[in-house]
Amino acid sequence: MQTTAKNILIATGNEGKLIEFKDLLSDSPFVVHSLKEFPNVEEVAETGETFAENAAIKARAYAKQTKVLTIADDSGLEVVALGNAPGVFSARYGGEGLKNEQRIEKLLSELEKTNDLHRKARFVCVVAIANSDGEILFRANGACEGTIAVKPRGYNGFGYDSIFIPNGFNETFGELSPQIKRKISHRALAMREIQMFFNNYLRETT
């Protein structure tokens, strides 16, 4: 692979995230690459205490290993009544090895114990971009406010999408079409800032 300015690595092993990122970058001039194309790359542990720290850790480490411009994110669900849990532990909520359905079941069970009537929550995403030397070039944040459904609904998306109802809608992310989610999701909002950065970046590097 030629490591030109127009190559970009999406540093995630989450197939759902990879699909969303590829979709969000579909109109860009970048040739998008995944971690599967770099089988010898060592997995990077998310040791940060915030979404921003984890996004930067992954972007730096994978960029240094692959010598490719790298975009990485950390994202998760914050439920107000649970003290903003699961937060950065969204992918590991309830312990390692649980299936997604089990994590959702645990979250709904914990939320019921609080007797919270509002069920307010938000999806948060922080995206970081690093150059081939591991220097962070840009960060962007996105948040989507909403509420938690009483039970899972819909089969679109991944993670906690089936129980998150974005404000202004009656459907969960799991019920909404990918086209609508692409406009309103936390990742889409962060990517709007990223796309503005890319416009300047490409002018400077080509």
* pLDDT score of 82 more than 50: yes
141 within some domain: yes
3-class SS of residue 168: coil
1 within some domain: no
* pLDDT score of 67 more than 80: yes
Q: Which residue has the higher pLDDT, 2 or 143?
A: 143
Which residue among 27, 74, 116, 133 is the active-site one? 74
Look at the alpha carbons of 60, 62, 68, 72 in this order and tell me if their dihedral is positive or negative.
negative
63-92 average pLDDT score: 97
117 within some domain: yes
* Placement of tokens 């404000």 in the chain: 167
Is 74 annotated in the active site?
A: yes
17 within some domain: yes
The pLDDT tens digits of the residues spanning 134-144 come to 999 999 999 99
38 within some domain: yes
Residues spanned by the domain of 88: 7-205
Residues 188, 142 contacting (CB under 8 angstroms): yes
CATH number at residue 53: 3.90.950.10
At 196, which amino acid appears? Answer: M
Nearest-CA neighbor of 160 among 17, 10, 18?
A: 17
* Average predicted confidence (pLDDT) for the chain: 93
Could you give the residue ranges of the DSSP H alpha helices within 5-145?
15-24, 51-66, 100-113
112-137 average pLDDT score: 96
Q: How far is CA 28 from CA 1, 2, 8, 174, 197, in A?
A: 19, 18, 11, 27, 12
Tally of domains within the chain:
1
2 within some domain: no
Classify residue 150 by burial, with Cβ atoms within 10 Å: 0-12, 13-18, 19+.
exposed
